[in-house]
Each structure stands twice: as C-alpha cells, then as structure tokens.
Amino acid sequence: MAMRTNPFAAETTMKRWRYTLCAVLALAAMPRPARAAAPVIDWDPAYFWMPGATFDNMPAGGIMQAVGTISLFGPPLDFLNVTMPATEYTFYMNNLSSQGTTALGPPGTTIYQTAFTGGTIDVYADPTPDAVFAPNPPNPQVPGTFTDVGPPILSGVFTSLLVTTNNFTAFKTGNIEGDIQWTGGTLIDYFKPNGGAACPGLFTGGATWNTAPGVGIPGYLFRHDGKIDLQCPVPTQKSSWGRVKQLYR
C-alpha cells in the first residue's frame, strides 16, 4: 500500500532539520568541559600591614600594604621553579585605600567587611634571595627585600579588594579577596592567551590575625595564605557537523 503523502510531513522534517542545525550551532559554541586548573601563583605566606588599623576597624583613607613569598607557579607560568635557590619570587601590594569597615550581625557573631579601592601589585624574580618578614614594617627590610630587583615580572592594579573578618572565630580567621587587572611586567604576554588583553586575576585566600608565635609577626595585621587564579574566558571549540553527530551515535 502506498504511503499517503502527509502535506505537513515535509514541513515537519524541515523544522526538525532547523532545530538540529540550531542545536549543532549551540553545541559548536558551547564551552569545553573545564578541568580544574592550578592557580597561576600560590604563596605562603603573605603579610599585610596598615598603620592604625585593627582586624575590626580599618579606618577610611588608611593605606594597606602587603608582601609575600611565592611558593608555587601554575600554568602558564609553570616554567618558573620556586625551588631553585638562586631565585626567589616575591610580591608587593601597595596603596590599597580603605573605604571604612562595616559591621554585620549581633555583638556575639559580628562580621566585619572592609572594601578597598586602588592598589597595585608587583611580582618580582630576585636573583639575590633575601626576603624577610621583618617585624614592624615599613623598615629597611620590608618592603625593600621583596622589591629589590626590578623590573617586575608582573604588574597589575586592583579593581576591587574586600577584607572579611569577625569577632567569634577561635583562631581569628577570615578572608581577603580581590580582582586584579594586569597591566605590565616582563612576563605579561603569558597572560594573553590570544594576544589580546591580559586575563584578569582573582586574588583569594584565607587570612588570620592570630598573633601566636609562628603564625603572626609583630607589626603586621594579617597573615594570608592564598593564590591568584587567571580568570580567562572559557574557550570554545570549533567542531564539524560530522563530529557533533558522532557524539550522539
């Protein structure tokens, strides 16, 4: 028996092809599965200082600074080896301007948040290892021994930075996180995956104002254990129609 031609069949088939085509285009533009990447820069430790500030009150207009020693580089800087004793990698943050501290919550569980504007970060490769977290900065060693051989391998400006502390954690722990726009340095091209603008950086990690020996150092406000991630846009992958179909066979 001959099949009766459905007047809507051709249209239905056409619609199916259109939907399929749309799906193919969407798949072609879909981000590739992101596998966890190592941080581009990891440190332990960094120490912050800010004259006149306490963990729960960083007065507006105050300037916060920090120095740190880098313990690990990840891609695309994983060719830098921090275990080579001939070179130490350090960074210096300066000119972070406090916008004042805001308190949230009841007296027993108060959380303090302090936003900072401005601020710079410079990363150094120093062939004369000498960095030391000398107490009570600034002093002849801090930040001097963290910045003593230029030019920086990376330079950037902070587009935001937020310090979160509290009055109830037993070990006096909180968080410092910010965003970095990279602007220069001898290795900045490694942060430009497509030759365009440098990928932004995410500065993140835990902070403690614990003054116990071995943890805190007199004259510093925070010890920070953190890292910087490169926030590159997730890449897309071009694909052919045949390859996409293969995925569903």
Which residues contact another protein by CB under 8 A?
Answer: 33-39, 42, 44, 71-72, 104-105, 109-111, 162, 164, 166, 168-171, 173-177, 202, 204-208, 212-215, 225-227, 229, 231-234
Asked if residues 191 and 198 have their Cβ atoms less than 8 Å apart, the reply is yes
As a whole number of Å, the CA-based R_g of the chain is: 25
CB of 234 to another protein, least distance (A): 7
Min separation Cβ 55 and another protein, Å: 13
- First CA to last CA across the chain, in angstroms? 32
- Cβ proximity to another protein: between 35 and 249 the closer is 35
* Residue at token pair 């960095």: 131
Give the whole-angstrom CA distance, residue 178 versus residue 97: 13
Q: How far is the CB of 157 from another protein (least distance, A)?
A: 18
Q: Which residue has the tokens 């490169």?
A: 230
Identity of the residue, 207 or 221, whose beta carbon is nearer to another protein in the bound complex: 207
Residue 167 or 186: the one with the smaller Cβ distance to another protein is: 167
CB 193 to another protein: min, Å:
13
- Distances, alpha carbon 132 to alpha carbons 51, 146, 151, 176, 214, in Å: 19, 8, 20, 22, 14
Could you tell me the smallest distance in angstroms from the CB atom of residue 93 to another protein? 16
Q: Which is nearer to another protein, 10 or 215 (CB)?
A: 215
Give the residue with the Cβ less far from another protein, 22 or 215.
Answer: 215
Pick from 157, 140, 169: nearest CA to 203: 157
Measure the CA–CA gap between 48 and 94, rounded to whole angstroms.
10
Task: Pick the closer one to another protein by CB: 107 or 195.
Answer: 107
- E-assigned strands of the chain? 41-49, 63-73, 88-104, 111-117, 120-126, 154-166, 173-184, 201-208, 222-230
Q: How far apart, in whole angstroms, are the C-alpha atoms of residue 70 and residue 149?
A: 15
Least distance in angstroms from the C-beta of 152 to another protein: 23
